[in-house]
């Protein structure tokens, strides 16, 4: 009995104390360790090193010497944010309790191609009807809907009401310019109302290992007709460089339908779904860890090209005319005249 008790008394504490040794301790919460952890997490998980031709090792060599354990939180944040900025990715952020780093070059380096005031005053004016997040009107016999954000979850009843309103019209202009994304479900919920049949709309590749080119095989995504009715007449989706992330997905899905035309400028991209990782100090970094491909294999990370490239003319803008919207209305008008 004594021997048995001795065995047990040795085994149980040994099991408990072995756990930390077996799994390993976290590093200490120091600026150096937090930088090292950030670098390692990104090295193992970030999707676009090869796509963007980024040498992550050389960035380590550039920024690591700027880190020391005596620096303040603000100084640490600034160096880490500068390191992340080099990725030039709108889905890469550093969150501390006091700030969030970001890179907005995906739209700030490009023409706006959108003037909200112009749309409000000259096209929506007093004829607008707001249905949930959608602002709608009818211009001639074409439906116009503006969707400026997907930051709220789209209610199916709202988009169904929009489709009902436009039923029987010769076409619809769906304007998502300056919509920088939000809920990933938005793309499927809305595009399902324009789906003529089940269609392959994209592929997702997940980062599956620590090497920069470790990805899963492409996983197909489909959109099927949703809602009580679908609008399968002529549809033009208006885009600019501020179309990003979930809205970029929406444009990609819509582009799979033969009755849909993408018009305007390139979208901003952001095809990698971002995911958050914590650091030892509780700060979080957000990085994309997937890639999205169009059905033809095109990587949409840097944006989707429009079917018809139209720029907002400065002269038109001054005269209260949205060049891109006008081109879409003419396009639908012309298409409706064709047999």
Partner 1 sequence: MRKTVKIIVVLLKLIILPYSAGANTGEPATKYIGIGAGWTYGGLRDYGISPLYYSGHHASGEAGYLIYSDSLMVQIEAGYSHGTISPSIYPGPDGSKMKSIKASADLHYLRYAGSIAGDRIRIYAGGMLTSRFGYYEHNNLMNSARKNYIFSALNLGGGLAREINAGSGRSMIIFTVEVPVVSLIMRPSYSYIRPEGFLNHNTGNLESFFSSIEISSVNRFTGAGTSLAIERKLNSGNKLSLGYRWEYFDHKNPNRLKSALHGLSIKTLFSL
Interface residues toward partner 1, by CB under 8 A:
1, 3-4, 7-8, 11-12, 15-16, 18-19, 22-26, 29, 37, 40-41, 44, 153, 183-189, 198, 204, 206-210, 214, 216, 219-224, 246, 273-278, 280-282, 284, 286, 289-290
CB of 77 to partner 1, least distance (A): 16
H runs (alpha helix) in 239-322: 246-254, 314-318
Cα 162 to Cα 144: distance, rounded to the nearest angstrom = 10
Q: How far is CA 304 from CA 88, 155, 206, 243, 254, in A?
A: 17, 26, 20, 9, 11
CB of 299 to partner 1, least distance (A): 18
Task: Identify the bridge partners of residue 239 per DSSP, sorted by sequence position.
Answer: 264
Cβ nearer to partner 1, comparing 142 with 179: 179
User: 308 φ, ψ to 5°?
Assistant: -130, 120
Cβ nearer to partner 1, comparing 3 with 337: 3
Cβ nearer to partner 1, comparing 16 with 109: 16
Cβ nearer to partner 1, comparing 142 with 255: 255
CB of 1 to partner 1, least distance (A): 6
Cβ nearer to partner 1, comparing 39 with 114: 39
CB of 109 to partner 1, least distance (A): 25
CB of 247 to partner 1, least distance (A): 13
CB atoms within 10 A of CB 94: 23
Q: Where are the beta strands (DSSP E) in the chain?
A: 93-95, 129-131, 134-139, 142-147, 171-175, 199-206, 219-223, 234-239, 260-264, 274-278, 284-288, 290-293, 308-309
């Amino acid at each position: 009995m004594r021997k048995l008790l001795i065995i047990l008394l040795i085994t149980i504490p040994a099991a408990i104390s072995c756990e930390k040794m077996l799994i390993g301790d976290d590093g200490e919460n120091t600026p150096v360790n937090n930088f090292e952890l950030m670098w390692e997490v990104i090295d193992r998980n970030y999707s676009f090193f090869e796509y963007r031709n980024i040498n992550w090792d050389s960035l380590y060599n550039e920024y690591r010497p700027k880190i020391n354990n005596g620096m303040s939180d603000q100084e640490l944040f600034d160096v880490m944010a500068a390191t992340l900025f080099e990725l030039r990715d709108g889905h890469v952020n550093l969150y501390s309790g006091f700030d969030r780093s970001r890179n907005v070059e995906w739209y700030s380096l490009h023409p706006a191609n959108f003037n909200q005031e112009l749309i409000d005053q000259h096209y929506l004016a007093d004829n607008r009807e707001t249905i949930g997040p959608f602002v709608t009107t009818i211009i001639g016999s074409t439906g116009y809907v503006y969707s400026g954000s997907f930051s709220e979850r789209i209610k199916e009843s709202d988009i169904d009401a929009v489709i009902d309103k436009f039923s029987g019209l010769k076409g619809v202009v769906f304007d998502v310019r300056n919509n920088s994304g939000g809920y990933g479900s938005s793309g499927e919920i809305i595009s399902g109302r324009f789906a003529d049949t089940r269609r392959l709309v994209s592929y997702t590749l997940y980062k599956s290992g620590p090497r920069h080119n470790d990805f899963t095989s492409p996983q197909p995504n489909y959109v099927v007709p949703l809602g009580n009715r679908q609008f399968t007449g002529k549809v033009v989706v208006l885009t600019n460089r501020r179309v990003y992330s979930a809205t970029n997905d929406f444009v990609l899905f819509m582009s799979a339908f033969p009755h849909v035309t993408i018009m305007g400028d390139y979208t901003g991209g952001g095809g990698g779904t971002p995911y958050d990782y914590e650091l030892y100090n509780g700060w979080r970094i957000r990085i994309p860890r997937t890639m999205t491909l169009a059905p033809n294999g095109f990587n949409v990370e840097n944006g989707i090209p429009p079917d018809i490239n139209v720029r907002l003319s400065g002269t038109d803008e001054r005269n209260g005319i949205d060049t891109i919207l006008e081109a879409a209305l003419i396009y639908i008008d012309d298409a409706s005249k064709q047999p």
